[in-house]
Amino acid sequence: MEFQLKQRGRASIDIAADMAGFAGRLTGAVNKTLTTLDLAADMSERASQIQAATADSNAHWFSKSMGEWSGVSHGVITAEAFEEIKDELLPQFETLRDGPTQIEANPDIAYPEYWEGVDFHRTTGGWVREHQGFIHGELIHPLYVARNFPGGIFKQRYEVLAELGERHFPRILELGTSSGHFTLQLAKRFPHSDITGVELGLPMLEQAQRLANERNLKWRLVQAAAEDSGLPSESYDLVASYILLHELPESATHAVFAEAYRLLAPGGVMFMSDVRPFRDLDRLAEWRSVDGALRGGEPYWCEAASLDLAQLATDIGFVDAKSYGLGEYHYPWVTIATKPAR
């Protein structure tokens, strides 16, 4: 999609991204001063220890304040940048409704209680805010998050698929399609497969539709909850998601795994990529993770990071379930499991 930000939007996003990077540098510097602490197992006690150790630290105080500012401001800044160019974009949005990918919207959809009204990522309106798909997919992720995220957030979405080996999956379902970043990588890796995407937020599906139609890709996009897709049983060979699970409470993750099991044909594979579990982090990193989740508007991160997803998959009935992290940063954390063949 062709677009050009105006000077204010461009400069605002640039400085916000660099300020987040600056704060990250300070956080790293503070972490180095905390490595000698013998941190408690109990999180509450650990937080008190860290608070005491950083009471006199300007760097810690500043990086916390900057994190708070970034958490609140990035959504506002990018929404304002969009508003500056909205009139130029809307005709493109209209044009890209036409194409091989169409959305099966559900005007009567009942949002899950854990999802409705939640301002995920501290963005007012969450995933149902009008045009949030564009704001998230074309501004926040590439222009703000990607600048400070090690490893390349788009590259990682493609490279993770190497964990599936050389097997071909003719029918692929993505749960939690969002704005289509991972869907695009699935299509790139499996160009001859039929791809279906399920997502609750209609503005997000609209962005995924635009990505697909401008590339002449045919996806089936369905507005539904990942845990209750309404799709036929045993209809897919691969059910996948990318950073969906940390947005769900534990109960919903159980339901998503059960739904994946139902949807998979015998011998099919479930492939979920997400954040590192707490058990893979040292105590300081775990505290940082919890603190970051609070500031970043991630209400279910702690529940998600406490789960043993391989065990959960096994309990549901999957076999050969395994969970592990990729690369130096153990990210993404992959869970692969197979539905037993008949």
**14 makes contact with another protein (CB under 8 A):** yes
CB of 12 to another protein, least distance (A): 12
Each residue 63-82 as x (binds another protein by CB under 8 A) or -, in order, gives: x-------------------
Of the candidates 285, 245, 297, 252, the residue with the CA atom closest to the CA atom of residue 113:
252
With binding defined as CB under 8 A, does residue 90 bind another protein?
A: no
Q: Can you tell me which of 24, 43, 61, 297 binds another protein, judged by CB under 8 A? A: 61
Q: Is 59 in the site for another protein (CB under 8 A)?
A: yes
Task: Tokens for 64, please give them.
Answer: 């916390």
Cβ closest to another protein, residue 13 vs residue 270: 13
Tell which one of 12, 13, 26, 290 touches another protein (CB under 8 A).
26
Q: Of these, 2, 4, 107, 341, which contacts another protein (CB under 8 A)?
A: 4
The reply on whether position 51 binds another protein by CB under 8 A is: no
Binds another protein by CB under 8 A, chosen from 45, 46, 48, 57: 57
Residues 149-178 within binding reach of another protein (CB under 8 A): none
Beta-carbon contacts of 168 under 8 Å, excluding residues fewer than 6 positions away, are 190, 192, 193
Toward another protein, which CB reaches closer, 32 or 167?
32
Angle (CA) 282-285-291 rounded to 5° is 140
Return the SS3 of 220: strand
| C-beta closer to another protein: residue 7 or 36 | 7
- Containing 333, the helix (H) or strand (E) segment is strand 333-338
Whichever of 25 and 322 has its CB closer to another protein, that residue is 25
| 30 in contact with another protein (CB under 8 A) | yes
Interface residue with another protein, options 35, 36, 44, 56 (CB under 8 A): 56
Contacts with another protein: how many residues (CB under 8 A)?
Answer: 23
Q: Give burial (CB, 10 Å; 0-12/13-18/19+) of 304.
A: buried
Q: Is 291 exposed, middle or buried (0-12, 13-18, 19+ CB in 10 A)?
A: middle
Instruction: For the chain, give percent helix, strand, coil, nearest 5.
Output: 55, 15, 30
**Paired tokens of 80:** 């304002």
Asked if 7 touches another protein (CB under 8 A), the answer is yes
- Asked if 264 contacts 270 with a C-beta cutoff of 8 angstroms, the reply is yes
Element (H, E) at 320: strand 319-325
List contacts with another protein (CB under 8 A). Answer: 4, 6-8, 10, 14-15, 18-19, 22, 25-26, 29-30, 32-33, 56-59, 61-63
